[in-house]
């Protein structure tokens, strides 16, 4: 009997938007099934895994490889039930916005001169070609980082390398140490890399605010003849 993450993986494979991603070694060499089995094992042992199984592959379902214009890397999903839905930093909970997302959206509002959004759901960005992917696609309730060593990072590294190789012009927004380490995977002769500190309030350097990543990304995309991203979230 297969577990819920293995079933979610099979459903992802059947989606038309998955075709480009399925060429990655992660989906070709059994790695995807191995990671899904690890997550299913902890679910079978009684752990509550987040996001819900049907949302685990949301980032690569909403944004096909051949449509990627911007990449934003997160670490792992929010560990509070109901908050995460499979997109890095995106939030669908009912409480106030998580601190890092609040910082990101405040920078966006200030950078672009638009109102601070009331919504934390970043699905609109994903549908425009913004790949919002975490370095681990799953987490356990109340245990940040619980699945960081499950093997998900191979998917992220391969995704970045493939985007760099196959796409003509992409903006990589690398925020915080773990994301910035992946700059080495990007061909800077083709792509724009914008590095900054992590938007977390725990970042004592406070080197995220004022970096204007949203206007810089759009200006570069327009220069390359591509549609800019409409970063506004509220109607």
Instruction: Report the alpha-carbon distance of residue 179 to residue 127 in Å, rounded.
Output: 22
Supply 125's token pair.
């960005």
Q: What SS3 class is residue 49?
A: strand
Q: How many residues are recorded in the chain?
A: 235
Positive/negative CA dihedral, 178, 127, 212, 206: negative
DSSP 150: S
Q: Which uninterrupted H or E stretch holds 182?
A: none
Q: List, in sequence order, every residue forming a beta bridge with 134; answer none if it has no partner.
A: 74
Comparing C-alpha atoms, which of 112, 83, 85 is closest to residue 96? 83
- Do residues 98 and 105 touch, judged by C-beta distance below 8 A? no
Beta strands of 54-186 (E only): which ranges? Answer: 70-74, 130-134, 139-140, 171-175
Q: Which uninterrupted H or E stretch holds 112?
A: helix 99-112
- Active centre residues (catalytic): 76
Beta strands of 51-200 (E only): which ranges? Answer: 70-74, 130-134, 139-140, 171-175, 192-196
């Amino acid at each position: 009997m297969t577990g819920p993450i293995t079933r979610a993986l099979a459903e992802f494979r059947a989606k038309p938007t998955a075709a480009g991603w399925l060429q990655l070694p992660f989906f070709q060499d059994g790695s995807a099934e191995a990671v899904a089995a690890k997550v299913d094992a902890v679910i079978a042992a009684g752990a509550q895994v987040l996001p819900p199984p049907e949302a685990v592959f949301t980032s690569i379902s909403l944004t096909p490889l051949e449509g990627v214009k911007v990449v934003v890397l997160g670490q792992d999903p929010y560990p509070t039930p109901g908050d995460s839905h499979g997109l890095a930093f995106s939030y669908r909970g009912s409480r106030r916005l998580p601190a890092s997302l609040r910082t990101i959206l405040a920078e966006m509002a200030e950078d672009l001169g638009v109102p601070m959004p009331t919504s934390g759901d970043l699905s609109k960005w994903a549908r425009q070609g913004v790949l919002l992917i975490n370095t681990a696609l799953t987490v356990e309730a109340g245990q940040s980082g619980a699945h960081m060593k499950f093997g998900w990072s191979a998917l992220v590294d391969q995704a970045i390398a493939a985007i760099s190789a196959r796409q003509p012009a992409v903006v990589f927004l690398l925020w915080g140490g773990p994301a910035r380490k992946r700059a080495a995977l990007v061909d800077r002769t083709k792509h724009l890399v914008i590095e900054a500190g992590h938007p977390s309030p725990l970042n004592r350097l406070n080197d995220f605010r004022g970096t204007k990543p949203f206007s810089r990304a759009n200006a570069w995309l327009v220069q390359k003849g591509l549609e800019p991203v409409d970063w506004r979230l509220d109607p």
